Chain A
Amino acid sequence: MADTKSAKRIIFGLFEPQTPLRPILDRLQEMKFSEESIEISSATPILAQPVGVGWKRFRLVHVTIIAGAIGIFFGVLLAGGTALLYPIRTGGKPIVSPSIVGIISYEMMMLFAIVTTFITAVVKVLRSHRVAAEYDPRIDEGFVGISVLSDRGDPRGGPVQDLFQEAGAVEVEVQ
């Protein structure tokens, strides 16, 4: 993270909500900035798909399914493993029946799936901060921010700032 900060810079432009952003995004693409290096900040989710990192490679639901499967395994061990670890028998029957293993496994499946999904989403949110500029409180009042990640020595930095100014940015900042 520290390396990224020292080697990279973020050019941030803050725009009033009515500013047409489409030409700015088109211009940034013409300047050969990749989708991964552009980020848009807003008070609500406004983009059907983000211009963010790694979406095509990662599906959160896969994590959920794997975690759920591990949860089932844990539940079986917890409830069913009891009969193996503590082999008390009542009336010649195992102390834990399949239906009870089913109930406990179901709950463990849900617990593991939900907690893992949550933790993964939190980690992904935290990791996404590499591309975006620091939070600006005005975004929550309706303003829209555009962050562009580039190398410190990238000659396109100046033109990006000019582009933001020409497009009517309220503020342009380099972080």
Chain B
Amino acid sequence: MEARKDFFLKKQKRAGEKEHWNLIQKTNDDLLSPMFETGRSYYVVVAVLSLLVLAAAGAWTYQIKTGIGQSGLHPPIFWGVYIASFVFWVGVSHSGTFISGVLRISKAEWRRPITRIAELMTLFSIMVAALFIFVHLGRVWRFYYLIPYPNQRQIWPNFRSPLMWDAAAIFTYATSSLIYLYLPLIPDFALMRERVTGWRRPLYRVLALGWRGTQTEWRWLGMAMRIITILIVMVMISVHSIVGFDFAVSLVPGWHSTIIPPYFVVGAIHSGMATVVMGLYFVRKIYRLDGYIRLEHFDKMGKLMLLITLLWSYFYFVERQVVWYGKIPDEMTVLDSILYGPYAPQHWAMIAFNSVIPLIALSIPRFRRWPLGLMIVGILINIAMYIERILIIVPSLGHPRLPYAWGRYFPSWVELTILVGSFSFFLLLYVLAIKFVPMIAIWEEKEGILHGRYEER
């Protein structure tokens, strides 16, 4: 009991210092202001994004009505933009879990302004990814075939299909991500319920669960978060491994490789971190949160990105090198088409954007402290990671073992509209979330003040 009190008093003393007290109040005001200040440009952005989402919904409706033949998917290529997008968005969803989870486990102080931005990305991107499962199904009204329940048809979901593994993994991940986002939001909902009016007030009242800020509540919250953080990192690794299994367990040249699942996990973290950096840049810039999202955060994110770029490059080189050295004809047909054939321009652009440029840029300390530069690198990595998803799928499916069946693929307008709509949907959810939750966890930021991490502000 004595030790408990001393620990408490040390922090209480710090909170009582005038400088800290002022900072606590300023933190409340600064971090809540994006929720209350809404300019005309905000509505314009929401309107444009909504229109693009509506266009995608229209394209999807058209595809449902007229059939999956409206896409560019034809023999031998049955996976295209939809599956590439699914894999891409699952990858982006790893941003929150990896950055937030790993940094929480390691108790990194600099995580505080980053976690909420990353956790929101996880939830929204996994929602978009799940949507692509339905888009890809074609006959979407039969999605219930995936749900295991006793039925008159005497048909049970075929668990041998990786699609069922995906369904189980995505459901687990989406549920866990929602919980992982919600838990640290509870104290912030309590803060907001007293400061908002209108329809938001009763909503926050319910979401805050009657939070009173007692140490018992904090203890339960902390304990639950510690446990769930560890579990969700394990789920994260399993989810993208399972997405990797979609490819690796088949005998298609270019896919059947043991390195594919871990390579997918690393690739997912690569694109996820790039997306978080983009989010950090825009939130900081638009809402003038320079005092919270500081250059040191970009520097540290840059270092992490450099590490992941090295890892991704290593995995990619190992995969290609082993195939090239083996010279198995079917595998070489696919590899040749990527390295020197019709997919070479996309491939080398991907290597430049994904590996060469980030490696050079992120190795320079001054560059890592340049938010705009880091954001541009983030965009390049995401473009490259999307190309990489396409290059995994299309060249392999386009070169089956019998050459007479070879084919090419180009997405139709329906696929492209849905693709643009998916990006718009992600952005729209994010833009709407800015008005609903603080982009930076307020209580975590205040906790950082008590830990003495306020010097640079």
Binding site for B on A (CB under 8 A): 16-22, 25, 35, 39-53, 55, 60-61, 64, 78-79, 82, 85-86, 95-97, 100-101, 103-104, 106-108, 110-111, 113-115, 117-118, 120-122, 124-126, 128-129, 131-135, 137, 139-142, 144-145, 147
Contacts and interface: CB of A to CB of B under 8 A. Distances in A.
Contacts of A39: 214-216
A121 B220 contact: yes
Contact of A43 (B179, B216, B232, B443): B443
Interface residues of B, number: 72
Contacts of B300: none
A113 B231 contact: yes
B16 A48 contact: no
A110 B234 contact: yes
A114 B175 contact: yes
A147 B217 CA distance: 14
A55 B242 CA distance: 38
Contact of B172 (A20, A45, A110, A132): A110
A57 to B, nearest CB: 14
B235 interface: yes
B165 A103 contact: yes
B252 interface: no
Contact of B12 (A35, A120, A144): A144
A104 B231 contact: no
A95 B160 contact: yes
Given A107-B169, A141-B28, A22 B216 contact: no
Contact of A117 (B24, B175, B191, B224): B224
A137 B214 contact: no
B403 interface: no
A139 B213 contact: yes
B213 A128 contact: no
Interface in B159-175: 159-160, 164-165, 168-169, 171-172, 175
Nearest to B238: A106
B15 A46 contact: yes
B215 A47 contact: yes
6 contacts: A40-B8, A50-B215, A79-B159, A86-B155, A107-B172, A118-B179
Contact of B238 (A25, A97, A107, A140): A107
Given A104-B159, A104-B165, A114-B231, 8 more contacts: A17-B12, A41-B215, A46-B218, A55-B219, A95-B158, A107-B238, A110-B172, A111-B171
Given A42-B215, A86-B154, A125 B231 contact: no
B214 A45 contact: no
B214 to A, nearest CB: 4
The listed residue with most A CB atoms (<10 A of its CB), out of B1, B7, B157, B159, is B159
B305 interface: no
Contact of A141 (B25, B165, B171, B238): B25
A125 B217 contact: yes
A132 to B, nearest CB: 4
Contacts of B222: 45
Contacts of A52: 214-216, 219
B223 interface: yes
A42 B213 contact: yes
